[in-house]
Amino acid sequence: MTHTLSDNREHRFCVAPMMQWTDRHCRVFHRQLTRHARLYTEMVTTSAIRHGDRDRLLAFDPVEHPVALQVGGCDPADMAMAACAAADYGYAEININVGCPSDRVQNGAFGACLMAEPARVADCVSAMRAAAPLPVTVKTRIGIDHQDDYAFLHAFATQVANAGCETLIVHARKAWLSGLSPKANREVPSLDYERVYRLKRDFPALRVVLNGGIETLDQARQALTRVDGVMIGRAAYQRPWLLAGVDRQMFGQADEPITRHDAIRALLPYVEHAMHDGAQLKHITRHLLGLFHGCPGGRRWRRMLSEQAHRPGAGIEILLAALAEVPEQSTAEVA
């Protein structure tokens, strides 16, 4: 397989993979707000890809590009199979989950516990690169349990980089593999950005993306003076309008600004198509609840969608009625 390092700006701003959040409906909505941010799927296990309904698991709307598939697994042959599937479906990248600390993931011997087995991760990277012409990236933590000094992270990065991983996405917080819930593991212990910045200094040829605790585009811009990219998770999901400033502020695009109303109107054809294919309105509108956060009418928007979209037979008229509850913005109020 021929692999070349692609545009260094393509990971400049990423929306994190988040279980039960970043499904295809969420990603299409986010794409109405930013054309250039890299989007990620929820984690899909290699077992699901091998034995499950691949169209349900892997199919996506072309508008989502650039979109990456995050995969959970630890067997090189299975990971190679997943890379081939990702290539077949047209993903721009395949990402290995070496960051999730949940018990379910640990029981499958993947996620954050793989930090203790850098040779296995390196074998997976090598097998995936040999199997498919996709960039293979790794999302990891800065450490696990009591293996949390810089030497541990440096040794991990060395092995995966030598195997051909050109992009390392680092959640700047170590993971406790026992005693903390996945939610607590997103908040405890404290973040250590300096360790990630040091990693970039020591691996100048490795694309390093910082993840964890970034809430605003100002924080993202500041981090980009030290690393190649940033990845935002919960803030982008709960306050999605911040994504509307990404193309201009992160990528220097001077496109005509949009309003929140514009974003919903642009989404309507997708909503109709998805519902025609069997999606329920609530499956889509749950991702839209935070769009008007802090705006006049925002509470009415959220309440109407929360109360009405789950009802049997709810259709696009609910979305339009909720939109009518919010005053139209002027271009001066856009992100």
Question: Hey, where are the domains in the chain?
Answer: 13-251, 260-327
Neighbours of 123 (CB within 10 A): 18
Single-letter code of the amino acid located at 242 = L
- Show the tokens assigned to 235: 């803030």
Catalytic (active site) residue 100: yes
Q: Are 38 and 70 in contact (CB under 8 A)?
A: no
Binding site as annotated, residues for FMN: 17-19, 70, 139, 171, 211-213, 233-234
Q: Is the torsion defined by CA of 115, 119, 120, 121 positive or negative?
A: positive
Whole-structure pTM value: 0.92
CB-based burial, 227-251: b 16+ in 10 Å, e otherwise: bbbbbbbebbbebbbbbbbbbbbbe
Binding site as annotated, residues: 17-19, 70, 139, 171, 211-213, 233-234
Q: What is the pLDDT of residue 112?
A: 84
Catalytic residue among 14, 26, 74, 100: 100
* Percent of the chain as helix, strand, coil, to the nearest 5: 45, 15, 40
Q: Look up the CATH superfamily of 13-251.
A: Aldolase class I (3.20.20.70)
Task: Render 185-225 in DSSP notation, one character per residue.
Answer: GGTSS---HHHHHHHHHH-TTSEEEEESS--SHHHHHHHTT
Low-confidence ranges of the chain (pLDDT < 50): 1-6, 331-332
Pairwise CA distance, residues 265 & 262, whole Å: 5
Q: What is the pLDDT of residue 1?
A: 47
